[in-house]
């Protein structure tokens, strides 16, 4: 089995952290390959940057998904997830959706802890879009954004632990979803500081992707995730044109 881990921003260090997290839980014999965005945001930190990165995610998939069995989205906003599920014939799993679903299997209610307070509403909207708003007691974020957190991982973990403890004691959170691709390597560190399970999205998405492949889950032929068919697109990478059923021209 071959899994593709794609990161729609341009920070290779984040891609590497996520790919290593995926390899940590992947089954023996599963090959994990990765790809990083070549244009758009350096780190996704706003709605507008997330919009730019959606194009980047489609291009990465078009170029690197051929020959792979499933795709893991290594962006905590699950950037481009619906579009990729529509365009690709293989399973596509978003890290935050997978983490939230996994959280629901080990506790009645979960809280999300992440980076950058600007993202609090967008994570809430994302969780709601998955129909899991009633299971989420809230989203908490430290002031530091992903880049600052990557520069001081020890301090970031301590800050996340403080937010998580507050959610457990004051909101009754029974599971903590650690959101943010930059934190994919910190699950054990955060778990050691908390009395409830901590789930991390890349690991959850990797295991879910493997399961979907083993179950031979088919691509739907009707509904909103069925192929859009041949569509005319231009001004984009030839690999992406081909993904829309067009003729790729060099």
Question: Rounded distance, CA 84 to CA 71, Å?
Answer: 9
Cβ(113)–Cβ(183) below 8 Å: no
| pLDDT number for residue 26 | 98
Q: Which residues of the chain have pLDDT under 50?
A: 249-250
Q: Residue 73 class from Cβ within 10 Å (0-12 exposed, 13-18 middle, 19+ buried)?
A: buried
Beta-bridge partners for 111? 138, 176
Q: Which residues contact 133 (CB under 8 A, 6 or more apart)?
A: 124, 127
E strands in the chain = 2-7, 31-36, 70-73, 92-94, 110-115, 136-142, 175-178, 198-200
* Residue 210 confidence (pLDDT): 98
Two tokens at 87? 């365009």
What domains lie within the chain, and their CATH numbers?
2-95+205-243 (3.40.50.12500), 97-200 (3.40.50.12500)
> Are 7 and 35 within 8 A, CB to CB?
yes
- pTM for this structure? 0.94
Whether the CB-CB separation of 171 and 149 falls below 8 Å is answered with: no
Cα 199 to Cα 212: distance, rounded to the nearest angstrom: 19
State the pLDDT at residue 250.
Answer: 40
pLDDT (0 to 100) of residue 247: 58
Quickly count: other Cβ atoms within 10 Å of residue 36's Cβ: 21
Phi, psi (degrees; rounded to nearest 5) at 71 = -120, 135
Instruction: Indicate left, alpha or beta for 172 from its phi (over 0: left) and psi (-120 to 50: alpha).
Output: left
Q: What secondary structure letter does DSSP report for 190?
A: H
Cα separation of 66 and 89, whole Å?
A: 10
Radius of gyration of the chain (CA): 18
């Amino acid at each position: 089995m071959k899994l593709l881990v794609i990161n729609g921003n341009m920070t290779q260090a984040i891609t590497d952290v996520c790919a290593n997290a995926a390899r940590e839980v992947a089954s023996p014999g599963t090959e994990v390959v990765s790809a990083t965005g070549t244009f758009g945001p350096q780190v996704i930190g706003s709605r507008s940057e997330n919009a730019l990165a959606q194009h980047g995610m489609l291009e990465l998939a078009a170029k690197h998904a051929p020959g792979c069995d499933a795709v893991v989205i290594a962006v905590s906003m699950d950037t481009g997830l619906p579009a990729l599920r529509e365009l690709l014939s293989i399973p596509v799993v978003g890290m935050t959706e997978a983490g939230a679903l996994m959280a629901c299997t080990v506790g009645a209610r979960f809280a999300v802890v992440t980076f950058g307070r600007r993202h609090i509403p967008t994570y809430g909207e994302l969780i709601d879009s998955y129909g899991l708003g009633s299971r989420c007691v809230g989203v908490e974020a430290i002031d530091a954004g992903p880049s600052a957190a990557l520069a001081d991982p020890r301090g970031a973990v301590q800050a996340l632990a403080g937010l998580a403890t507050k959610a457990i004691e004051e909101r009754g959170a029974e599971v903590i979803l650690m959101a943010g691709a930059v934190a994919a390597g910190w699950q054990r560190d955060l778990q050691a500081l908390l009395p409830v399970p901590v789930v991390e999205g890349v690991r959850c998405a990797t295991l879910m992707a493997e399961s979907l492949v083993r179950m031979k889950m088919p691509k739907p032929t009707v509904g909103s995730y069925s192929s859009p068919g041949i569509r005319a697109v231009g001004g984009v990478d030839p690999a992406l044109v081909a993904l829309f059923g067009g003729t790729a021209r060099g």
